[in-house]
Amino acid sequence: MKKNKIFNWVIYGVILIILLMISSFLSLSQGEIDIPFGHIPDLLFQSENSMEHVVLTQIRLPRILLGIAVGGALSLAGVILQGIYQNPLVEPYTLGISGGAALGVALAIVFGLPAAWGNLSLPFGGFAGALLIIVVVYLIGSRKSQIRIQSMLLTGVMISFITSSSIMLLMSTTNTENLHGIIFWTMGSLDEPNMVLIYMCAIVALVGLVLSYFFIQPLNALRMGEEKAMHVGINTDRSIKFLFVIASVLTGVSVSVAGVIGFVGLIIPHLIRSWVGTDYRILLVSAFLGGGTFLVLSDLASRILIAPNELPVGVITGIIGGSLFIIVLSRSKSLK
């Protein structure tokens, strides 16, 4: 039985990797300038700066790398948080982290930091806002060295409302140019020209995936409930603290670089869990690969639907993710 399970896991992993490769090649090939699949290898490794070479290496490849990193990170964070809170409706943005990042970016735009410090001020402002929310939620939810899960969840929801209202206040009092900048950022985009930020996001996503595997046993035990997990010898408070930090950092970095991209951390964990099962040994990496594939395909759709113009990728993930969630909900008696 164990051999059959491992064999199935290998099959799941191979299928997901193949899907990610197919989506990446489609994203490389399709766009305002269509490039035949057979020409891609030659164009990637040629030294001359033809238009197709520039499009592939300086526009599409960075977007694909960022899409895999952000999609994987958000989906992984969603799986972890749903495991911690034992609530299928929890996603990375539920705890107010995205709201904090959005408020940080909005403040940076309103105070003119991009003009003074460059465009790097936006992701740094976003991460600072996300980090502040992480600290607030953690401190409120962990009094007397004990984690209070429901308190953390409710605090995050309330902070989301507060940050949303604060952003609307800034938008209603700032000038038109700043207003456009805030709206564009909050819709989400993978159009990030700074390779340092892209590499940073990719490294954080991969490190988060590796670290999450050190908590496989606690995550699997938490499926039985916090009290039963404690009875089998799991230090639930410590495990939840570390997992919360991992998921929060993954979300904070993703949002600060790519903006608010919703539903990736909600619908992908549901779809992957219904396919590969609830064992976190396969669920974590499967959710990572599935999230990356979903966001790469969503970014491709955002580039080709109204070409030569481009839709915000958050619009695509919201429409597709929300529709898929309704379908999944209507076909199941209860969310598990």
Q: What is the pLDDT of residues 293-311, one digit of tens each?
A: 999 999 999 999 887 788 8
What's residue 145's pLDDT?
Answer: 59
The domain limits of the chain are 2-331
Tell me if 199 sits within 8 A of 68, measured CB to CB. Answer: no
The pTM (predicted TM-score) of the whole model is 0.90
| pLDDT tens track for 44-92 | 777 567 788 788 888 899 999 999 999 999 999 999 999 988 888 888 8
Q: CB count, 10 Å around CB of 304?
A: 17
Are 108 and 130 contacting, i.e. CB atoms less than 8 angstroms apart?
A: no
- Per-residue model confidence (pLDDT) at position 144: 58
How far is 254 from 70, CA to CA, in rounded Å?
Answer: 5
CA distance 125 to 57: 28
Paired tokens of 291: 């999230």
Token reading at 36: 């035949």
The domain 2-331: what is its CATH number? 1.10.3470.10
Mind listing the pLDDT tens digit for each residue in 243-254?
A: 988 998 898 889
Rounded Cα distance, 242 and 272, in Å: 23
Helix axis angle, 61-85 relative to 280-304, nearest 10°?
140
E strands present in the chain: none
The whole-angstrom separation of Cα 33 and Cα 336 is 43
